[in-house]
Amino acid sequence: MSDLRDLYQEVILDHTKHPRNFGPLGSATHRATGRNPLCGDQLVLMLDVHHDRVRDARFAGKGCAISTASASLLTEAVKGKTTAEVHSLFERFHDVVTAPADAKPDLEGLGKLAALAGVREFPMRVKCASLAWHTLEAALAGASEPVSTE
Amino acid sequence: MTFDPEKIAHEFPILARKVHGKPLVYLDSAASSQKPEAVIDAVSTYYRTIHANVHRGVHTLSEEATAAYEAARESVRGFLHAASPREVVFVRGTTEAINLVAQAWARPRLQPGDEVMISELEHHSNLVPWQMVCGQTGAKLVVAPIDARGEVIVEEYARRLGPRTRVVALAHVSNALGTVLPVAELVALAKRHGAVAVVDGAQAVPHMAVDVRALGCDFYAFSGHKMYGPTGIGALWGKLELLEAMEPWQGGGSMIHDVTFEKTEYARPPERFEAGTPDISGAVGLHAAIEWLSALDLDAVQRHESDLVAYASARLAEIPEVRLIGTARERAGLVSFVVGDVHAHDVGTILDGEGVAVRAGHHCAQPVMDHFDVPATARASFAVHNTRADVDSLVAGVRRVLEIFA
């Protein structure tokens, strides 16, 4: 394992201690619940989507540093994007966090989400980073069942 | 004989390895213990020299394998101070043992309105099988609450017993909190109402001598892999008259007396509950583990591990951000804790970076986590090979967590 600071970068610690866009979203048009039964993490993702564009995104719930920071960063990243752009960002993000630990990830265009790239060196923690994103996909798909990482 | 954990540690080959460049400090024996050479060698020797199927052939190897398998059964009998090896059923582990009792004893006997009592601190394996059988029969699951220390409140338990209580299923030692339950007392109370008492001994047998007849219970279940034996083997002890009255729960080879297309006469216990080829090498490994652990003197083991629990509790309590979860007056084998508002998984990852292996999560006991209003805890659990120096490594790791999350 490389240095733990690769996992717990300043950006991640900052977003864990001070999650952005945290709390209810009155104007939500889409919402979904995500659970990671192994850790007991649970989060609710709420989106305000208008004309296929995410106007606002917020989340609630509790989880580990990685899942909380990932959800917080996600809400910042998707605001203003079209749903197609969000899907594409999810795929890029997913490729990065699931890449082999020794591969050099392509971080271009990921912005602050790149801080989560260190997760790929901790296979047990990839689910923590992905939970918010799977929940986002479920919200956009209008799923009524909670998403589970298992 | 003096008890020397450092010398004992040398008997565990895996403890020589490093993790992330640091010496491994293994504090997750409550999830699964490591294996001493004696157990690894016994399994290997069995396969190298005597393996064949049991209770079948007339050839030499089959006779030797059968003798080894039955000798393992006798060793479990002695380990639990049971009356007869016929009362010992080999199973995959505690989970399978409890499911066996739930399906083969309880399911045909429970009526709508009957009650099954468990405690609030049960592992999911002593909760879900009962929930399932209640769903199948219309019986009701009743839960005896725990207090703020994580002890079962005996008066509340007693108050919930009644004429409809048919089964009481309790942990001997809580896997999430380490609480030692007053099993003999709780069983005696259940017996006043004629209930059958099932004890989940998974977390007890590695840490203390167990005498099922002194406990007064009807069934006692444990796993080999948490007490230095192999995975995939465990045992259910049951009173012979109860086992004799039970129908089999799986059909197949070995569990029969006579088979025609019209009718099958079942074998007597324990074979009745051991359909198919059993885990013979697992039983041999379990036998070796029982002999190895018994040779250490279980009273000395208990004293050593109690010292580690007390030392770890005191050292962790020196850190203001640490909250111990579960402070029962009698605890065995582990400490459960949270570090400030840092999630247990982050604690686990950072400790792993220091070579310290702990369990982080809900420990398959979500109702216990709900009781203490935490999503998860970090749990350091102890074995015979652990030392106060291992606890010091844990404490240093916890301080590192606080540095990173400062």
Q: What is the pLDDT of residue A150?
A: 62
Q: Are B389 and B200 in contact (CB under 8 A)?
A: no
Alpha-carbon distances, residue B276 vs B66, B225, B245 (angstroms): 14, 21, 21
Which of B4, B1, B38, B30 is CA-nearest to residue B385? B4
Q: Are B120 and B144 in contact (CB under 8 A)?
A: yes
DSSP three-state, residue A52: coil
Q: Which residues contact B320 (CB under 8 A, 6 or more apart)?
A: none
Orientation angle between helical segments B60-80 and B280-296, nearest 10 degrees:
40
Residue B96 structure tokens: 């399978």
DSSP three-state, residue B159: helix
Q: A122-126, B67-71, B124-128: which has the minimum mean pLDDT?
A: A122-126
How close, in Å, is residue A1 to chain B by CA atoms?
6
Mutate to test the interface with B, among A3, A5, A8, A68 (most CBs of B within 10 A): A8
Q: Are B144 and B152 in contact (CB under 8 A)?
A: yes
CB pairs under 8 A between A and B: 51
* Domain-embedded: residue A150: no
Q: What is the pLDDT of residues B55-107, one digit of tens each?
A: 877 899 999 999 999 999 999 999 999 999 999 999 999 999 999 999 999 99
CA-based radius of gyration for chain A: 14
d(CA B90, CA B223): 10
d(CA B269, CA B248): 9
Residue type, B251: G
CATH of domain B40-294: 3.40.640.10
Q: Does A44 touch chain B (CB under 8 A)?
A: no
Say if the Cβ atoms of A40 and B350 lie within 8 Å: no
d(CA B301, CA A104): 49
Q: Which uninterrupted H or E stretch holds B377? A: strand B377-381
CA-based radius of gyration for chain B: 22
* Domain-embedded: residue A75: yes
List the domain boundaries for chain B: 5-31+297-404, 40-294
Count of residues for chain B? 406
Quick one: average pLDDT of B359-386? 93
Q: What is the pLDDT of residue A1?
A: 46
Measured between CA atoms, the residue of chain B closest to residue A14 is B405
Torsion of CA B116, B119, B186, B299, to 10 degrees: 130
Residue B304 reports pLDDT greater than 70: yes
Which residues of B145-231 form beta strands (DSSP E)?
165-171, 196-200, 219-223
Say if the Cβ atoms of B346 and A66 lie within 8 Å: yes
**Into how many domains does chain A fold?**
1
* Residue at token pair 């080829």: B277
d(CA B293, CA B12): 13
Residue B290 reports pLDDT greater than 70: yes
CATH number, domain at A32? Answer: 3.90.1010.10
How close, in Å, is residue B48 to chain A by CA atoms?
36
Q: Does A147 touch chain B (CB under 8 A)?
A: no
Q: What is the pLDDT of residues A80-93, one digit of tens each?
A: 999 999 999 999 99
Which CATH architecture is the domain B5-31+297-404 placed in?
Alpha-Beta Complex (3.90)
d(CA A140, CA A148): 16
d(CA B150, CA B171): 13
Using a CB-CB cut-off of 8 Å, the residues of chain B touching A7 are 349
Range of the domain at A79: 4-142
State the pLDDT confidence band at B110, using cuts at 50, 70 and 90.
Answer: very high
Which of B158, B186, B172 is CA-nearest to residue B97? B172
* Domain-embedded: residue A127: yes
Quick one: average pLDDT of B130-145? 98
State the pLDDT confidence band at A29, using cuts at 50, 70 and 90.
Answer: very high
